[in-house]
Structure 1
């Protein structure tokens, strides 16, 4: 159901949505790194003797002071939440990226008044017209430069001619 809604969006709308998902992906990746850093910097997770783990797979503190819920709250829960958020944002971003080509195809088929070939021909004609105008302006400028060069050559010829006394 969501794919049909996404394919009806314009490429610009999809780009905005994709940018939002990309920002979410970056933010969740940063949260993953921060959570990992917290876990690595927390000595309660380090094991100096035989590693004992709780039900969630996190190391229990060697002194046994913290309960398994304390361990989850301090480290693993935030990391797992960030991982899930990252997975979801990456999946949403992939969906948007995969939808963009289909939105372009749908847009091309939606043009009932003109076919794609006619639109391309019209764009080419406009570009040709722009190039003709640019060429005309450059030709005028080139003619001006040639005239100035002729005047300069005439002036130099006049200066080099022998003076009749």
Structure 2
């Protein structure tokens, strides 16, 4: 990536950022699809945090029957694919951002004044991209935590009341 110009790196970085955002959106959509699927609400895997809420008289739950874990559901495979796309897009974005300083050094001999302005603009852009990615990661973590809480609440609502 070091042989690319700063402009090429900027365009590539923007493309990677868009891929990251699209993959994050796909993760959220897949999680929403799974949450909206009532078949998954009553099927708890043994390792799931809300599995402890199931009564002692309940039949054992077969984790292979859980569509998202078995890969057979609409959300499981899509969610895993979106996670992989997100991780690869973030890695590509990071490598692109890391290549910007070396691209600037290679082009530095041509016009140092113009390059200094360009470098400052690229550094500001890289900084804003890092902040945007950090904010999106925080937002994604918050939504995942909220989804986890919602699933726990749904599991509690569906558990039999012992009076």
- 1:40 alignment partner, one of 35, 41, 49: 35
Q: Distance in 1 between matches of 2:30 and 2:24?
A: 10
- The answer for unaligned runs of 5 or more in structure 2 is 44-53, 115-163
Give the root-mean-square deviation of aligned CA atoms: 2.8
Partner SS for 2:63: coil
Task: For residue 53 of structure 1, report the CA deviation from its aligned partner.
Answer: 4.7
Deviations 1:124-159 (A, max 9, x none): xxxxxxxxxxxxxxxxxxxxxxxxxxxxxxxxxxxx
Match of 1:100 in 2: 100
Matched, 1:20 2:38: no
SS of equivalent residue, structure 2 residue 13: helix
For 2:155, the equivalent position in structure 1 comes to none
Please report how far the alpha carbon of residue 72 of structure 1 lies from its aligned counterpart in structure 2 after TM superposition.
Answer: 2.3
- How many residues align structurally? 100
Change (3 A) 1:45 1:17: same
- TM-score, normalization by structure 2: 0.53
Secondary structure at 2:99 match in 1: helix
TM-superposed CA distance for 1:73, in Å, is 3.2
TM-score under structure 1 length normalisation: 0.53
Q: Which has the larger radius of gyration?
A: 1
Correspondence 1:52 to 2:61: yes
- Distance in 2 of aligned mates of 1:103 and 1:37: 41
Per the alignment, in what secondary structure is the counterpart of residue 74 of structure 1? coil
Q: Which has the higher contact order (CA 8 A, sep 6+)?
A: 2
- Is the partner of 1:89 in helix, strand or coil? helix
Long gaps (5+) in structure 1 = 1-5, 61-67, 121-165
